[in-house]
Amino acid sequence: MAKRSKEEAAGSEQPEAVPTRIAVAGFKSIREEQSIELRPLTILAGANSSGKSSMVQPLLMMKQTLEATYDPGPLLLNGPNVRFSEGKQLLSRTRKGESVNEFHVGIESLAKLGITTYFRKLPDRTLELHRAVLLENGKLLDVTTTMDHATLERELPDKPVAMLKEFLPAFNATPYWELQRERCFLRPIARVKPPNRRIEDIPFSLQCLDRVGQWLHDLVHLPALRGNPRRTYPVTAVGTTFSGTFDNYVASIIAKWQGDDDRDKLNSATDDLRVLGLSWKVVARRISDAEVELQVGRLPRAVRGGARDLVSIADVGFGVSQALPVVVALHAAGPEHLVYLEQPEIHLHPRAQVAMASVLARAVQRGVRVLIETHSPLLLLAVQHLVATGTIAPDAVKLHWFTRSEEDGGTSVTSADLDDAGAFGDWPEDFGDVEMDIEKRYMDAAEARMSCK
């Protein structure tokens, strides 16, 4: 295959409004601040309990907090995406086993927008949001809940403050600036009391809060535990965003795609299943107004007369039921939406793990941004192969390797870029080294056994 230029290869452009970096500190094993760059395809790798999930869980908590049907406070701990029972479980521990008092999470984009929110533990073990660093058009606003009116007004951008002051004289009112908690965000507001009228709050419009909030709503999360295949699935409402975890929507999305005049998404998802070697067809059969049955082609490839050779997804291998949500999520997500996939290779044969890289690359080509957490060296090698053949641009991929200190349990992150040949620089020992080591040990043991005969 001929090499493509970086402009032609997938993912070579970075939309300005899309977050490009996240940072976490004080959360679980990530005691010292660690940050990762987000590319069109971002890969998190490392040993079990090395901190990969901990890097993303603060985002998922913010997502479930924003999507709750009520105000759960600064963070919804026990929700559909992440489950904790009390605030201290979130906080990092020192070498002496004591927990720290605060953690923070930061989200930043190329458009000079971003937020960093700080949560601290209160004496009653609950958490409070007490500080935010807001990046608005390149200017930093460092605000805390203890700021008085004058200090807060000095921190705010000059133009909006001046505009508000020009607007208020008509009402014979003077603003008093305060910080208002909106779920997991802090937003400046102007409290005004015109004569003979009640106090009114005028929210201070900040793109960084509005865009990051929408980005978290748009985030698609598919966990590693995607449930056992079922005979029937409940019908769910399907829109452009997906609250909670995505696996709950798969059957209803397929049913919707079948009913659309334009069935391109269903056909493309079916193509991905064929690429994975799992099935050639998927059908959602409505059982009732409340239930849907998923059926798949019994054979991996279409054969003459096999159009009706369908079986329940519960009657085929686990690989189909675990890979189908991955494929559907990648096609249901809109351009620039982030799809977070935990172990997309789970329950897949090595050949399908390699093919999964092509499925991910096709999503990147459609403008979807993909963040995966993986334990598969084959998937990583397959991504390198796609870069080497020019299918995906090297600058569209970012690798992050997570390790955990044996002394204090702290997580550290090593990041790497791919070159035009799909190679990367120094990489912590694991993956391929483990495979080569066990192969050598086996060969040595087999040779020793044979020599004893």
Over residues 185-190, the mean pLDDT reads: 88
Q: What is the pLDDT of residue 446?
A: 79
For residue 404, give the amino acid letter: R
Q: How many domains does the chain have?
A: 2
Q: At a CB cut-off of 8 Å and minimum separation 6, what does 197 contact?
A: none
pLDDT of residue 102: 95
Same domain? 203 vs 97: yes
**Averaged over 163-168, what is the pLDDT?**
62
Pinpoint the alpha helices (H) of 306-419: 318-332, 350-365, 377-388
Residue 152 counted as domain residue: yes
**How far apart, in Å, are the Cα atoms of 368 and each of 101, 311, 416?**
37, 31, 21
Give the tens place of pLDDT for each residue, 82-108.
999 988 899 998 777 788 999 999 999
d(CA 435, CA 443) in angstroms, rounded, equals 12
**201 and 271 within one domain:** no
Q: Which of 318, 336, 354 is the last residue of a domain?
A: 336
Q: Under 8 Å CB-to-CB from 15, ≥6 apart: which residues?
A: 110, 336
Q: Where is 450: in which H helix or E strand?
A: helix 432-451
Return d(Cα 101, Cα 91) in angstroms, integer.
Answer: 7
- Residue with the two structure tokens 């809109």: 334
- Per the domain annotation, does 375 fall within a domain? no
Same domain, 84 and 193: yes
Give me the DSSP letters along 3-63: ---TTTSBT----TTSEEEEEEESBTTB-S-EEEE--SEEEEEESTTSSHHHHHHHHHHHH
Q: What percent of the chain has pLDDT over 90?
A: 61
Rg (CA), the chain: 25
For tokens 């965003």, the residue is 241
List the domain range (segments joined by +) for residue 263.
226-336
* Together in a domain, 307 and 256: yes
* Percentage of the chain exceeding pLDDT 70: 87
pLDDT in tens, 249-265: 999 999 999 987 668 99
170 CB-side CA count, 13 A: 4
Amino acid present at 62: M
Rounded CA-CA distance 311/25 in Å is 48
Answer yes or no: do 196 and 234 share one domain. Answer: no
- What does DSSP say about strands 102-109 and 19-25: parallel, antiparallel, or unpaired? antiparallel
Confidence check: pLDDT of 397 > 50: yes
Q: What pairs with residue 104 in β-bridges?
A: 25, 118
Do 187 and 230 lie in a common domain? no
Sign of CA dihedral 376, 378, 384, 390: negative
CA dist 419 to 211, 360, 374, 440, Å? 32, 19, 21, 29
Residue with tokens 């990367």: 424
Q: What residues contact residue 98 under an 8 Å CB cut-off, 6+ apart?
A: none
Residues 26 and 123 in one domain: yes
Q: Is the pLDDT of residue 4 over 60?
A: no
**Claim to verify: residue 239 and residue 134 sit in the same structural domain:** no
Tokens representing 242?
């997906």
At residue 451 the predicted structure's pLDDT band, cuts being 50, 70 and 90, is: confident
Among the candidates 180, 215, 250, a domain finishes at 215
Lowest mean pLDDT among 32-46, 84-98, 105-119: 84-98
Same domain, 92 and 201: yes
> Which pLDDT tens digit goes with each residue over 303-328?
566 567 899 999 998 899 999 999 99
How far from 70 is each of 51, 58, 74, 180, 212, CA to CA, in Å? 30, 19, 12, 16, 20
265 and 169 co-located in one domain? no
* Model confidence at 391: pLDDT above 80: yes
Q: Which of 192, 215, 238 is the C-terminal boundary of a domain?
A: 215
The Cα–Cα gap between 121 and 127 comes to 5
User: Residue type for 248, please?
Assistant: N
Residues whose CB falls within 8 Å of the CB of residue 221, separated by 6 or more in sequence, listed in order: 60, 63, 81, 244, 245, 246, 340
Q: Do residues 100 and 155 both lie within one domain? A: yes
SS3 222: strand
Tell me the β-bridge partners of 24.
Answer: 34, 105
Answering whether pTM is above 0.95, one says no
> 283: helix, coil or strand?
strand
Average pLDDT score, the chain: 87
